[in-house]
Amino acid sequence: MEFDRTAYAHLFTTAIGEGRIRKSRESFKIKLFLTKGENSLLIAKHVKEIQPTEDQPPKLHWDYWAITISYYSMLYAAKAAILSKGYEVKDHDAAQIALGHLLVPDKLEREDLEILNQSQKIFEDEYIYYFEEAKKESHIARYSAIKTYSERRLQEIFDYATKFVAKIGLILGDGP
């Protein structure tokens, strides 16, 4: 699905009116959320790689949590990025809306960053897709009675989270 800037602007305005997104001056939380996201990603990697013994839960249950933790690493990084723009969010959907509205640059912003040789700081709309996919899989992992994950899908969600958290770190000046 193609990124719709106008739709995100409308959703952002609606979410502010509903109190799901609000202005914030609590910038001290930026580093805390980013660190929480980075460390959650390390924990997700550990859980993803666990090979359970006979007396531990089956691998499937570890995979549920690896996906959920991967998604939450993205959510924490998203909260840091949103705070860097002067806003806080109250729920997962509001986080996605704020990301789309506040971080994906329009054509002029993108051109300015490229002219300034800062194209690495461009938050492409593909990162919104990564967030949405991880959010969806995390929800399924938490609330479905039975769902199995292929090693490929688990790795895909983990890779999305890795790219997402790294990009936010780079944008906020904490990356490579």
Helices (H) and strands (E) in the chain, counts: 7, 2
- Token match 């000046």: residue? 173
Total of domains in the chain:
1
Task: Determine, yes or no, domain membership for 1.
Answer: no
Indicate the length of the chain as a whole number: 176
Mean pLDDT of 16-41: 97
CATH value at residue 166 = 1.20.120.330
Is 14 part of any domain? no
pLDDT, one tens digit per residue, over 52-90 is 999 999 998 899 999 999 999 999 999 999 999 999 999
Distance CA 155, CA 55 (A): 25
Q: Which domain holds residue 42?
A: 26-171
